[in-house]
Amino acid sequence: MREKIINKATELFLNLGFKSVTMDDIATEMAISKKTIYVHFKNKTKLVEAVTFHLFDTICDGIDCICNTSKNPIEELYAIKMFVMQHLNNEKTSPQYQLKKYYPQIHDVLKFKQFEKMHDSVRDSLKHGVDTDVFRNTIDIDFISRMYFTGMTGIKDNMFFPPEQYNMDYLMESYLEYHLRAIVTEKGMKILNNFIKQNQS
pLDDT tens digits, 24-44: 999 999 999 999 999 999 999
Amino acid, res. 36: T
Q: Which residues contact 76 (CB under 8 A, 6 or more apart)?
A: 66, 67, 70, 125
At 94 the pLDDT is: 72
Rg (CA), the chain: 19
Class of domain 2-199: mainly alpha
**The pLDDT of residue 3 is above 90:** yes
Each residue's pLDDT tens digit, 94-110:
777 888 899 999 999 99
Question: Is the pTM higher than 0.95?
Answer: no
The domain ranges of the chain are 2-199
Average pLDDT over residues 66-88: 89
